[in-house]
Structure 1
Amino acid sequence: MSRSPAPTIPDEPPPPTLIDTSQVPPATGDEGDPRPAPPPAELTGRFGELHLLSDTHEARVYRTTLDGEPVVLKIYHRPSRDRAEVYAALREVTSPYVVRPTEAAPDASPPYEVSEFVPGGDLRRLTARHGGRLPAPVVLAIARQCAEALNDLHRNLVKHRDIKPDNILVRQADPVVIALADFGVARGGDRLPGTGVASVRLASHRSGTVPYMSPQAVAGLVSTDDDWWSLGITLAELALGRHPVGSDAADPAHPDRRPPRIGDSAYVDHLVRHAPIRLTAITDPLLRVLCQGLLRYDSERRWKYREVTACLDGDPPPLEPDPAGEAGVRPLMFHGHPCRTPRELAIVLSLSWDAAVAWVGQHDEELTEWLGLFPGAGRPAPEHRHPDPDVALLHLLVALNPSGQLRYRGFEMTADHLPVICRRAVKGFGDYERVVADLWRHRLLPVLARGHGGGGLDVADETWRHLDARWRSLRSRLRGSGAPVERLGPEVMRAETLRLACERDRHAELRRLLAPDLRDLARTRVPVPWFTSLRADTDPVEALAAHLLAEAALEYAYKRLEQWRAYLADRRTDALNDWLDRTQRSTALGWAAVAVGVPAVAWVVALTVSDLIGMASTAALAQSWLWAALCVLVIAATEIPFATWVGRDYHPAHSLAADIIGVLGRLARPVRGRRLASLAVVVAAALVLGAALSLLPVVLPAAAIAAHLVWFVIRVRRRPDRSRSAGHTGERSTA
C-alpha cells in the first residue's frame, strides 16, 4: 500500500512566545475541526458543478467551470495577511511557466482564488507514466523552465516556498511544458537596497513541505534561496525515481499512486547531521552537477538562476567547497533554529535582536567554541568587547557575516531605511529614538557601512556630525535673537540632521515645505527678524531650522497682528467718541441751559407771587431775590461745565433738565389731559411756593442750593469712565 501524499504544511498560528506571526487563527466551525463546512452558496453559485481535487489543512481545491471555461477554485480555510501582497506581485509576473490566479479575494470570507485548469496533471503523475523516473533530457528541460519561472517570481519578490513535483503542472507532455502552481504559502518581501534580491525574514514556524525544505527553511529563515534548494530536490527525485534522501523506489505498476517519501523527522535529522545528499545514482553528468550546485548547504554557495542557466547551456560553474555541508560540523541551536554557518547565525540573531542579546550573554563559551570550527570566523576577545550589549552584538554580527545585510536592534540599516527611522524618532517612538541616540553616541554608521546595502553610511556619519556642529552654532545665534530654540530638543535635532544627511533631496523638500509658511508670514506684514534672517535657500541646516520654527514664527506674527488690530480698533473708537463729543456738545449745552432756565423761571414766579400776597417784608423779599439768584448761579456754574465734560452722554442720563422733567411729569400725571385742573394745580403750586418763600426767604433757596450740589456729586460719580478707556488704549499701545 502506498503512503499518503506529502502534505504541504500551512502557516499555523504560532504560540505567543514565537518571534513573528503572519497568519490569523482559523475561524472554527464544529469544535475540534478548524476547517469550515462546504463553500457557501453565494460563492459557489457563480461556478458550475464542483469536483473535489484535494482537501488539506490549508485549503480545499475544486475543479469546476466559470463562464463555460474549466477553472480551479481554491478555498482557503483561514485568511492570511501575506496573500494580498503575493497576489499583487503575481500580477507583474509574465513567465508562461507560472500559473497565476485569474481572480483572488484574500479578504473574503472564506478567502479564495481562481486559476486556470491545467489538464495534464503534475510531474509526479508524469513520472509514474514514464516508469518511475524521467529521462535526463526531460528533467533538464523541466529545470530550464522552472529556472525561468523562479527568476521571474524572485524578480518580483515572490518566494514560492513549496517547490515539489506535486506543484509543477504539465501543460504539454511531449515536448514537456510545465507551469509552476500553488502559491498558498508563498510570501512577498522587501528588496535589498541597490539590488534585485529579496531580503531575508525569520519565520517562527515551518511552512511548506518538509522533505523539500532547505536547511535554512528548516531553521526558520525565509528567502528566495530556499526555492533553489527545493528545485534541486525535485530534479533529483525526477531523475532517481525517489527522494534523494530516501532509499525506497517508486512503484511503476501503480501509476496513480505517489511514490514513497522520506519521513519529515528523518529528513530534518539528515539535514541537522549535515549528512551528504548522495547523487551518484544520477547517470547524466550535467544533471548530476546541476543537482549538486542546487543542493549546497551554504545558501551563499548555492546555485541560483545565473549558475543554473550557465550549467544548462553546457558551461557549469566550478563547485566551490561547501563547509556547511561537511559532516561533523554540528549546528548551533538558537531558540530552536539550527544554524550551520556563521552567516546563518548572524541572520537569525539580527532578526531576533532582543532574544539574541540575552542568548549571546548566556552562551558565550559555547558560541566561541562553535566559531572555532570555522577558520576566519572569530569574534572580539572579551576584553575588547563593547560594554553596551547591543553594540557588542552588532560587532559580533560584523565578525560573523562581514558582507551580509546588517541590522541594529532589529532595524535594517541602509541609507534608504534610515530616513524612516528618523521620522519615527522625531514623532517620539522610543525604540527609534534609542537607535538614533546609539548611532550617534557609539558612532555605529561606519560599522554598519561594511555590510551589504550599507554603502555610503560612513559618509553619512561624517555629514551628520558636520550638520550637528552647524546646528549648535546656529542655535547659539538664534537664542541670542529671541528665537524659541528650546522647542527643538537634542533628540529631535539629531534625528532631523541624520535624515538631512541621508536624503539627497531633503534640502529641496524643506524649501518646498517652507514656501507656504513664508507666504502666510508675508501676508501678516509683521517682521520676525530672527526668522527672516535664516538663509533657507542656500544653507540646509538653516532651512531645517526655518521649517521646524516656522510655526513659532507664525504664532508670534499672528499674536502681534492681533495686538496691532486691537490697538487700531481702540484708536478708532476713541476718535469716534471724540468726534461724537464735538458734534453733540452743543446739544448737551442746550439741555444744560434748560436745566438753568427752568429753576430761574420758577424762582421768578415764586418771588413775584410772594411780593403780591404781601406776606414778606421788603428786606426778606430782597434776601430771597439774592439767594434765588445765587441758586441759579450755582446751577449754571455746575451744569454747564458738567455738560461740556460729559458731552453726548449728558442727556438724558446725567442732565438736571431730565430729572426736572421727570419729576414734573410724575406730578402732573393725575391731571394730565384736563386743562382747567392743570391750570389750577400750577396756580396752587405757585401760591404755595410764594407763601413758603415769604415765610422762609433764605432757608428755601439755601436748601435748593444744597440739594442741587448733593445731586450734582451723585451724577458726577456715575458719569462715563473716559479715563479707563484711555488707559486701556494706552495698554494696547504699549503692547
Structure 2
Amino acid sequence: MGEVDGTDEAAGTRRDAGTTRRDEARVPGPRGAAETRRDGPGGTGGASLMRLPAELAERYEAVAELPVQGAESDLLLVRDARGAEHVAKIFRRGYRADRDVWAKLPELGSPHVLRILETGHADGRDYEVTAYAPDGNLRALMDGPLPPEAVADVAAQLADGLTALHRAGIVHRDLKPENVLVLSGDPLRLAIADFGLSKVLEQSVVFASSSRTLAYAAPESLSGQVSPARDWWSLGMIVRELATGRAPFRGLSETVVVDHLATRPVSADDVADPRLRLLCRGLLTRDPRRRWSGAEVAAWLDGGSPPVAEEATGPETGTGLPFKGRRYARRDELARALVAEWADAAQYFFGRGENSEAWRSLRAWLAELPDDGSIELVDGRLTADVDPDLKLLYLVRWLDPDLPPHFLGRRVTAEDLRMLPAYVENPGPEHRVACRLVRELWRHGLLRELAGFAGGADLAGVDEQWRAHAAAWNELARWIRAQDAPPPALAARLPDAGADDPPLVLAMLLALAAHPADVRRKLAEGLERARARTAGAEPVPWFEWLAGGAGDDPLRMLAVLLAAPEAVVEIESAKRARRAEAERTEALRAQRAERERARLAGRGAATGRAVLWTLPLLAVWLSGSWIVGALFGGGPDGGTSSVGGFQRSSGVPFGFLAVLSVVVWGLQCGAEVVLARAQSADYLPHGPWAMFSKVLGAGGRGLSKASQTVSGAAQRTGRRGCGLVLLAGTVPLLLVFLLLAAVTPVAGLLWTLVLIAAPVAHGVAAGVRLHRWRQARGTVTGGA
C-alpha cells in the first residue's frame, strides 16, 4: 500500500524536526530469516526508526526494530499498556498507504489474511498496527523439503487467502515466504501479510538487495502487467520451494533471473510428488490467462486434475505468420499469442487499414490454411467496418474455439465477471481496461460472441439476463428520480445503465446476471452497512424511505447502496451545521458571560456615581427650602409684613423644609442606588441628569439656531434685532414675577408638595429606566 508520490501529505502534516538514530537493540528473528537491507526507494541508508509517531507513542511503547524490513516501511515491535505485543508498520516519507486496501481488508473474512488492527496517519507518515507473530514467517519452515501433506496444507491456506483478496479486487503483488506469517505451529496456521505493494505501486517489481522478491515475480510483471494471476504464480514458486527444499534462482544475479523469466518456463520436473508437480505446472504456466487460479487450485485440493496448458519450448522459425519476433504456423499458438499481446495485435493487424503489410500477411496466411471457413471469416468479419478489437475477437475465436473466452486481453468467463465491479469502482491498474471491457460488452453484445469459446456457453444467457436487469434498473432509477423526496443531487448517483462513467451500474448488473445469489448476498450485506452508517441522530427521511422499500429486490438494494453516499453527505452536513451552531451558541454564551462579568465588576463604581450624581439634588432641595423659608416663611409674630412691595405671611418654617429636603434626597438617592446596582457597568453615564442633559442640549441647539436666524435676518435687512430679543427675554421674566406674587401666600405649602412629589416622580422614572434597560438587554441577549 505504499505509493511513491514525491510529495508530503496534505496541509496539517507535521515534519519531525530531527532524524532518528539506529538503536542497537534488535529482536531475534524467526529461524532462517535473513535480514534484508533497505536499498529500495525511500530508504534511509540504514537509519532506524526507533521513535514512534506521536499518535502511536501515546498508546504504545517501541520495544525494538524487527530484523526483516521492507523497501517502503519500517517494522517495529511495540507493546501496549496491557503488555500485549504488536507490530507497527511505519511507512517512510514519500510512501502513502492505499486507503481502499485499508477499507477492504477488514471485510475479507478470511483467517488466512492478516487482520490490521489499526491504521492512521501521524507525523507525516502512514502507519499500520497488526498482531505480532512470534513464530516468524514461512521462511522459518524452509530448512528442507516438506512432506507432500504439509505442502498441500500450506497451498490450501494461501489459496484461501488469495481468493479472498482477489474477490475484493486486491492483488497482493509481492507474495513470498517473508510475507506469510506463522500464526501457530501446531496446528499450522498461516496468514498473508504485508500489503505494501497491493494495487498501488506502478513498478511491477521492487529490486531489493536480495533477489528473493524478484524470484517469486511472475513473467508478466516484467512488463508491468497487473492481475490476480501474478499472485498465483508466486504461490506456485512457494509450493515448488517447499516441495524441493531449494529456493528459486538461488545464487543467480538479477539480470539472469529477469532473462530466465522473460524467455523460458520454470520447470517443475524436480518436484518428486506427482500431485505437487501437477500443482506447480498449473500455477507456473507462463501465459497468465491459461494459468491456474482459485477454481483450478480448489479442484486440485478436492482431488481433481485440471488441465495444464502446454508451454512452447522456443521461438518458431521458417514459414508461418510473423508477429512480435516469432513465426506462428499453428492456429492455437497464434491465438494464445494474440490474446497475450491483445492491444499490440489489434493495432498491428487491423489498426492501419487493409493496405497495411501486416493485414496482407495475415490474409495470405489465412488463405493457406486448409479450412474453407477462412473465406467467410475474412470477407464477413475481418473486412467489416468495426473496431480493431472486435476483428481480433473474431479472429481469435476462429483460430482456437477451445480457448477460454477473452476480450481486450482479459479472460471473460462467468467467474471473471464477478470481479469487474471491484475493478471498475476502485482506481488502479485494472480500472481503465475493466471500464472499457464493460462498455464494449454492453455496446456490441459481445457476451453472445464470447459464448462461442470453450467454457463460455452460459455467457449468452448472462447477456440476456444482463439486458433485462438494465431495462428494469432504468425504469426503477427514473421512478426514483421523479419522486419529490430525494434531493436533486441523487439523480447523478442513479444514472441509467450505460450512461454512468465509470460504468459501475452496468458492471454491478453484469455481475448480478452472472452470479445472482452471490451478488444478492453482497448487496444485502452492503445494505446493512449503509443503514448502519446512516443510523443515528441525523435521520435522512428520503433515504429511510428508499432503504425501507428495498426488501430483497437486488435492484432496489443497489439503488440504496448508490444513494448511501448522498445520505452520508447530508448527515455530515447536518452534523457540521449542528456543530457550527453549537460552537456559535457557545461563543455567544461565553461573550455574554464575559459582558456580564464586566458589568457586575462595575457595580461598586456605579453605586458611587449614583450617590455623587444625586448630591446636586440635595443642594437644590436645601437651597429651595431656604429661599422659600426666607421669603415666604412665617415671622416671629406669625403675622404679615411687607418686603420689597410684597406681602409676607406666615408659612412653613425652614427647619421643617430642610428636614423634608434631606428625606426627599435620601429617597431619590436610594432609587438611584437600586438602579445602579441592578445595571452595574451599564448604569447610564449621566445618571439622573441624563434627561436634563438632553433637554438642555435641545434647548441650546434651539437658541443657537434662533440666534443664527436673527443674526442672518439682521445681516439681510440691515436692522438690529436686539430689541426683540430683549423683549422676548423680559416678558417671560415679568410673568414669572407676577406668578410668584400670586402664589406667595401658599408658597410654603406648594414647595412642600413639590418635595413630596419629587421622590415619587423620581422613583417612577427610575422604574421606567430599569424596565427599559431590561427590555433592551433582553433584546440584545435574545438576538445574540
TM-score by length of 1: 0.45
TM-score by length of 2: 0.43
